[in-house]
Chain A
Amino acid sequence: MFTNLLKKVLLISACITSSTINGADLQVTVLSHKGNPLANMVVYALPLEGQQLAKNTDKLVIAQENKTFAPYISVAQSGNSILFSNKDDITHHIYSVLGENKFDFVIRSGKQVRQKIVPSAAEIIMGCNIHDWMSGYYLAVDTPFFTKTDSTGNAELKIDQPGKYSLIIWHPQMQEQSDKISREITVTGSNISLSIALDNVMAQIPDQKNSDGFDYLSTY
């Protein structure tokens, strides 16, 4: 399976002109197994050769808006703290119960809560104990090169250090081991453009809506 995927990648790579060593734009298009573009897929590249990379210190804000986690999937470099911002007119009880990064707190309407720093790469699965349908993911990665595909399935990474990287595409509903697939790429100097199609169908992405279909609070 993996070799099959590799063949595809290589086939595509053959069409790409080689980039400069000093930096290159990595353009990735993520497609479904049927060839449709997939949005909101996390794309990040992990250095495989100990490249010294500048730290991304962007403070990530995860909003609670319309009783959803917005965005559904957040991605940030490890070592940063997370800021929760309740934009709803209702209280939320945000929690994470798995792994090292357990937390839970109540966040009142309009308040912000800064959560502690996520020290290392982790997949933090979040829920709201009040609104069961709310579902959010926070992915902490050990690299500054991360992004999410846009609505056309494209993602662009500016990798300024050449070398080998593991290009990882992650999504909680991806039906793969650890919800991700990876490609080893070598950044030289020239731009890389590749398209990755998934082998398997994606699971249903939760739409973070009350399945009762009765939002009694909105009319309360």
Chain B
Amino acid sequence: MKSLQNKIFIFFVLLLLIVQSIGLWTVLSGKQSQEEQEIAHRLATAKTIFSELYNSRRDYLTAFARTAANDYAIKQIFNEDSRSLLVALNNHRKRIDADMVMTINERGVVSGQLLLLREEAEVKVQKGAETNSLFKYANWLKNAQPQAHLYALNGALYQLSLSPIKVGAKVIGWVGFGFQIDSRFAKRYKMITGLETSFMLNQGETWKMIASSAGQQQLSLVEQIIKGESPEHYIVQSQLITEFNNAQFGVAMYALRADLVEVLQGRWWQILILIALTLVLSLAGAYFIAASITKPIKLLVQQVKTVASGDYNQHIKHFDESELGQLAKEFNVMQTAVLSREQSMVHLANHDPLTDLPNRNMLMTELLRLARSAAPFSVYHLNLSRLTEVNDTLGHDVGDKIIVEAARRLAQAPGFANVFHLGADEFILLSEVAAAIDQQSFACGIETALEASYEHRNFSLKMQCRIGIANYPEHCDNVQRLLQMADTALHHTRKKRLQLQVYTAALEVNSVERLSLINDFQNAVSGGQLELHYQPKLDLNSGIITHMEALVRWRHPAFGLVPPDNFIPIAEQTGQINALTRWVFKSALDQYNLWLGQGIDLNIAVNISAQDLRNPEFFDYISNTLKNAAVPAEKLTLEVTESAVVDDPEAAIAVLQKFNDLGFCLSIDDYGTGYSSLAQLKQLPVHELKIDKSFVQKLEFDSDDRIIVRSTIELAHNMGLTVVAEGIEDEFVLNWLSEHGCEKAQGYFISRPQPVEQLNKWLRQQKGFSNLKELRC
């Protein structure tokens, strides 16, 4: 409810209410006094009107009396013919409709008097009662000037104007005309002022009503008013005239206050209705203004909401050049910026920054889309080989260039709808064809695409890859799991050094076991589940077995024999490699002494991991154990992988030097896979190089491998090292190595790693061991 419109509206309403209230308050507070003023004004006006009316009658009479007094005809007959005089006077009277006319002669006697009597509809002129009697107010006649008086006669009251009749300066008599102060006068007055009017006369003790405009004669009320009192519920005005002899003439003007107030009240209602009306109109206006102000804002808000909900294609319409129009413009600018930023963010989120190929996010989206369409498809999980080596030798920028180049080439490989880059050297290709034959040709297509060597400066780099394939829905209809399957297949290619592996359930075993292995390995050392197998090394000069390599095996209570590739990494990751190595070393010493007791003197090689080298207590343990077992150090070989030395060469060299000083034979294991430099090799206090089996296995068919092995042997010999080759799987290799000066050979062609029991049987058949009668474990 706190919308802008409401706020504006409420503001206007409050403003209007305040203004109206102030206005109303002012008007109301003025009302009472205004009423009083109105009444006072009215009463004052009434009094003025009365005076005016009264005086004008008087002046009219006086003027007429003067005129009549100057009438020569009247003068001529004034003292002569009273009948003619009366007729003439009546004629004059009729002209102004006077109620009374009289003449007074020089002696002060009323010589003629006519009164008009109004009785209902009939009007009569009668001879006045004072005819021929002395005029009551002789003193009036002393001043020979026209004059006006109130004159009471027979209970009636007259305004009388007398004017002297003169002959030259001589006053020969008076003529007077009078208007009666009667109800006609009262009614006429009421008609003008709206006030009831009563006339009273007091000729002694009591007030007597003379005439009134009111039907009912409220004697006491009128008397009160004339006495100057203000009866309740009335507005009153009075006038007292005391200008004639011993008598008082009172005029009372009055009205019920309620009657007047009612008239005023009517006006009040008009004002109130007017106020209410303007209020309603103002409120409507305020609402309209509020709505018109906020309408564009609402429109803007609505449009902004649409945009905010993600519909960036919706542009806000520009209203005009007002502030809101500018705001709308700015919104659009912002929206465009946000849109482009969001697009780039979405792109970044969905694409690999290096290759700009869609990444895992897009992959999942695409997989889900394909899965929904229910058509079969294949996931190719591709891994570029040897990229780590390139990174390490030529630098990451070169590695990155190779990745970019590979991405470019993969995108052009036939048969694939999409190429995704999961990062580093891993790609996913999707094919909507799942037939086995096609997969083979597609894989060839990939190989062909990558085949051309990449030229970097003077290097020709070959791109090779391994591919793991999983099919939908053949293998799984869960895309997440499908990816794992392709990954599993890829892993298998690494393990088996294959180019291509299509997923089969058989591949899955190791992976499934892995988790429980991690768990169970904690009990392996203490639980006596480990055992040592030994693989013989053949001295190629003598053709006699002179050395053994001790290889640890884990006999898992549930899974049986677990190969070292599966649990050595676990031991390394869980920090148990030291314990493992110690156990192996101790067991190897025991076996040495055992064999020695049986007349067999074989040098035993033990594998030392990088972690062992880093352990500060390791050297002391080895030297102590060796001392305790009373085995000469030269009867033991410590095999250290090339990579273990590469990680931290100085520390490794220091430790190895100490072992060397004790007399151990030191050997670099897996030589050729760790990219150790010749400089490092030169510094290492070792006696032997062990060429990795990957160079040896395909020696017969691979000329490159032959070059590597031959040059390695030469290098080693030049540096004063002996050479051991492992991975001998056929006679050709054995002979070739022998021809090329390799000192020792190890491999399946000679013997698999075997438990001591079996090995002992095998040893008896070997050259140099046939004289051994019996060998015990």
**Which A residues contact B (CB, under 8 angstroms)?**
69, 95-98, 102, 104, 125-129, 132-137, 172, 206, 208
Contact = CB atoms under 8 A, between A and B. Distances in A.
Interface stretch (B128-136, B166-174, B535-543, B746-754): B166-174
A132 B70 CA distance: 8
Contact of B172 (A98, A132, A137, A172): A98
B76 interface: yes
B75 interface: yes
Nearest to B76: A97
9 contacts: A97-B75, A97-B78, A97-B79, A127-B170, A128-B168, A134-B168, A135-B167, A135-B169, A206-B169
Given A98-B172, A104-B76, A172-B169, 13 more contacts: A95-B75, A95-B76, A95-B167, A98-B79, A125-B170, A127-B167, A132-B166, A134-B168, A135-B167, A135-B168, A135-B169, A136-B168, A137-B170
A13 to B, nearest CB: 34
Nearest to A126: B168
A94 B406 CA distance: 158
B175 to A, nearest CB: 14
Contacts of A127: 166-168, 170
A129 B72 CA distance: 7
Contacts of A134: 168
B321 to A, nearest CB: 83
Nearest to B75: A97
B3 to A, nearest CB: 87
Contacts, number: 48
Contacts of B72: 95, 129
A127 B169 CA distance: 8
Contacts of B70: 132
Nearest to A205: B169
Nearest to A96: B167
B210 to A, nearest CB: 37
Contacts of A97: 75-76, 78-79, 167, 172
A208 B76 CA distance: 21
A137 B75 CA distance: 17
Interface in B144-181: 166-170, 172
Nearest to B165: A97
Contacts of B168: 69, 125-128, 133-137, 206, 208
Interface string B74-93: 01101100000000000000
B162 to A, nearest CB: 17
Contacts of A137: 168, 170
A133 B167 CA distance: 9
- How big is the B interface, by class? 10 to 19
Contacts of A104: 76
A95 B72 CA distance: 9
A132 B166 CA distance: 8
A102 B166 CA distance: 15
B733 to A, nearest CB: 171
B383 to A, nearest CB: 143
A53 to B, nearest CB: 30
A92 to B, nearest CB: 12
Given A95-B72, A97-B75, A98-B79, A126 B167 contact: yes
B683 to A, nearest CB: 158
Interface in B186-238: none
A147 to B, nearest CB: 22
B170 A172 contact: yes
Contacts of B167: 95-98, 125-127, 135
Contacts of B76: 95, 97, 102, 104
A96 B78 CA distance: 12
A91 to B, nearest CB: 15
A40 B314 CA distance: 128
A132 B144 CA distance: 14
A125 B171 CA distance: 10
A172 to B, nearest CB: 7
Q: Which 6 A-B pairs have the closest CB atoms?
A: A135-B168, A206-B169, A135-B169, A127-B168, A127-B167, A125-B170
A206 B171 CA distance: 12
A208 B170 CA distance: 12
A82 to B, nearest CB: 15
A145 B194 CA distance: 73
A62 to B, nearest CB: 12
A125 B167 CA distance: 7
A23 B331 CA distance: 147
A121 to B, nearest CB: 18
A132 B79 CA distance: 19
A93 to B, nearest CB: 8
A149 to B, nearest CB: 20
Nearest to A134: B168
B308 to A, nearest CB: 101
Nearest to B144: A203
Contacts of B78: 97
Q: Which of A69, A125, A208 has the most CB of B within 10 A?
A: A125
Contacts of A135: 166-170
Contacts of A132: 70, 166
Interface string B441-469: 00000000000000000000000000000
B277 to A, nearest CB: 63
Nearest to A207: B169
A117 to B, nearest CB: 21
A70 to B, nearest CB: 13
Contacts of B166: 127, 132, 135
A124 to B, nearest CB: 10
B164 to A, nearest CB: 11
A46 to B, nearest CB: 23
A126 B169 CA distance: 9
B169 to A, nearest CB: 3
Q: Which of B76, B167, B168 has the most CB of A within 10 A?
A: B168
A112 to B, nearest CB: 20
A170 to B, nearest CB: 14
Contacts of A69: 168
Interface in B705-742: none
A32 B72 CA distance: 35
A124 B77 CA distance: 16
A95 B172 CA distance: 13
A15 to B, nearest CB: 38
B355 to A, nearest CB: 131
A125 B75 CA distance: 12
Q: Which of B76, B169, B170 has the most CB of A within 10 A?
A: B169
A34 to B, nearest CB: 21
B106 to A, nearest CB: 8
A135 B164 CA distance: 15
Nearest to A136: B168
A128 B167 CA distance: 8
Nearest to B170: A125
